Amino acid sequence: MDVLGKGGNAVDGAIAGLLAIGVSQPVSSGIGGGGFALVWNAKERKATVLDFRETAPSGLNPADYVTRPPPENKRGVMVGVPGEVAGIAEMHARWGKLAFTDLVRGAADLADKGFPLSAHLARGLKWTEKWVLSTPRYSFFHPAGKLASPGDQIRNPALAATLRRIGAEGKDAFYQGKIAADVLATARAGGSRMSAADIESYKVIEREPLTTTWEGNRIYTMPPPSSGGLMLLEALHMHSKAELSALGYGTGAYVHLLAETLRGAIADRVHYIGDPSSMTMDPMKLAAPARMKARRARISMDSTMPPAGFPITEAGTSHLVVIDAEGNVVSATSTVNNPFGAQLVTEGGFVLNDELNDFTSEKIAKLFNLKTPASTPRAGARPVSSMTPTLVLRDDQPVLALGGSGGMRIATGTTQITLANLVFGRAIDEAIADWRVETPAMGGLWIDPSVPPDVVQDLEKRGEKVDTSKLNVSAIQGLTVDYTNGGRVIRAAADPRKGGTGAVE
C-alpha cells in the first residue's frame, strides 16, 4: 500500500506486491515461477490479459512426464522457463508510473533486512522438512539444524542481491547473463532439458479475456491456457440468478447443483483446454448458453456423476488484487506450482517452478479415456492452468475483483465466491471465509468439516459421496466496490486459511 501512497497506480502496487509475496512466501510463488494478470485500464475502459505462464523447453522429451512425481534427481524436467520477471516488466512498461527500480526495492529490502516467518510458510517448511534440511541454499530456514518457527526473522541476502540487479538492469538481467546462467545450471542439474536460448527467448503474450454479460454484470476472466475462466463462465451460463437464489445459499440442493456444474467444467478442462496454439475448440463455444442449457437438462437433483462421466458433446500459488484512486484494477496470480516448486534453489536465492507437472498426466488421460489430451507435454507449450483472475463491472464500474491460489481448486473457489457475492449478496470477507466444497477429478465431494450435518445428510441422499477429511480449499483474495450515494466504498479481504490480509487506504 506504500506504493499507492507515493503516487503509484494499481499496476505499480501489483508489481511491488507480487515481488514482496515471492520473498515472504517462496513456498507458493516467486521470480522462479510465472502467472497471469488481468488489468483494467479505467481511462481506456479496457481489460487486458497478460500471460506470463512458464513455457516448456525446446528440448522437451514426452517420456520425462510419464512418471509423476519424477525421481528426486529428475525434478528439473518439470521446470518451465520462468515468466514472472518478464510479466512484471511488461506491466510496468505499459502502465507503470513509478520507477521500476523503486518498485523492486521494497522486495529487495525485505529479503535483505528480513521478515517474520508466517504460519503459512512454516507449514510449507514442515511439509517439505526433509528436503529443506538437506538444502544448503536454504540454510536460513534451518539454523542450528532445525526448522525456523513462526515469527522467527528470516533473511535471504542472495535473493536481495538478485532483486537489486533486476531492479537496476530490468528484465534482461534475468533472461541473460549471470541470473539466466544460474537458472539454467540449477534446472539442468535436476535433469531439465532447458537451454540458454529457451530462457533468452521467453515472451509475455497478450490475450483477449473471456467475457460475458450475466444478470446485469460484465465479467472479464482468464482465457486459455488457463481453464479457470471457462469453468466460471460455464457456471454462470448454466444458471440464472433466480434459479440459484431459490435453492438457498449453502443448502444441500445448491451445493449439489454447484458440484455437478463444476464436474462438467472439469471434464471440459481435461478434454479441451491447453496451450491456445494447439487447441481445436473455442472456449466461448464450450461455455455457450445453449450448450450449458443442454448440460443443465442432464443434471439430476437426486443423483450425481463423476467428472469423467460427463457428456461433453451437448447440442495447489499467490494472488493479489489492487485498485487505485482512478479506478484502475489489477487481479494477478503468481505461482511456482507445488510447495517450493521443483524444490531446486538457485544460487540467487529463489526456487524454480515445477509448472510442467500441470501437463495432463497419463492417469487423468486414462480416467477420461483420452489418447491425446489437449494439454499434452510439448516443446514450447504452456501447460493448462486453473488460475482465475477475474473482474466484474456493473454500470461500467468495477464492483468485484478476485482470484486465488491452490491448483485446480482456484477455479472452483473463485466460482463459489463469485456466486456468493453476485447471487446471494454475501460481503466479500464473509464469502471468502464461508465453508466451501471441492470436486476432485477422480470423483466424490470434499467438503469443509464445519458444514452442518443436515446439509451432509441431504447431499448423501442426492448420491454425493461426501468426505470431510480431505478438503484443502483454495485461498481466495478479493475486493468489492460500492458506489452508493455517489461515493466509493472499497472492501478488501484475503483468505484466513492462508493468513492473508486485505487493506484499504
pLDDT digits (tens, 9 = 90+) for 365-401: 777 777 788 899 999 999 999 999 999 999 999 999 9
Residue scoring higher pLDDT (449 or 430): 430
The 8-class DSSP code of residue 226 comes to B
Q: Is 317 annotated as catalytic?
A: yes
Helix and strand tally (H, E) in the chain? Answer: 19, 16
Q: Which of 137, 100, 82 is nearest to 16 (CA)?
A: 100
Residues 135 and 341: their CA atoms lie apart, in Å, by: 14
Q: What secondary structure does DSSP assign to 416-434, as a single string?
A: HHHHHHHTT---HHHHHHS
Q: How far is CA 49 from the centre of its chain?
A: 14
Is 489 marked as a binding-site residue? Answer: no
Select which of 48, 221, 317, 415 is catalytic.
317
Strand partners, 219: 212, 392
Q: Which of 55, 58, 59, 61 is nearest to 79 (CA)?
A: 55
Rounded-to-10 torsion of CA 96, 489, 229, 407: 80
Mean pLDDT, residues 256-281 taken together: 92
Residues 356 and 78: their CA atoms lie apart, in Å, by: 5
| Neighbour count for residue 282 (Cβ, 10 Å) | 11
Residue 469 has pLDDT above 90, yes or no: no
HEC profile of 381-398: CCCCECCCCEEEEECCEE
Residue 501: the pLDDT is 56
Q: What is the mean pLDDT of the chain?
A: 93
Band (431; pLDDT cuts 50, 70, 90)? very high
Residue scoring higher pLDDT (119 or 502): 119
Band (309; pLDDT cuts 50, 70, 90)? low
Is 338 marked as a binding-site residue? Answer: no
Which domains, ranges and CATH numbers included, belong to the chain? 2-206+318-367 (no CATH), 209-317+385-498 (3.60.20.40)
Residues 491 and 477: their CA atoms lie apart, in Å, by: 11
Residues 103 and 153: their CA atoms lie apart, in Å, by: 23
Mean pLDDT, residues 438-448 taken together: 89
Is 102 marked as a binding-site residue? Answer: no
Residues 108 and 83: their CA atoms lie apart, in Å, by: 19
Model pTM?
0.93
Backbone angles phi and psi of 457, in degrees to 5: -60, -40
Q: What secondary structure does DSSP assign to 442-497, as a single string?
A: TS-EEE-TTS-HHHHHHHHHTT--EESSS----EEEEEEEE-GGG--EEEEEE-GG
- The H-or-E segment that residue 255 falls in is helix 252-272
Residue 432 has pLDDT above 50, yes or no: yes
Is 118 marked as a binding-site residue? Answer: no
Mean pLDDT, residues 37-41 taken together: 98
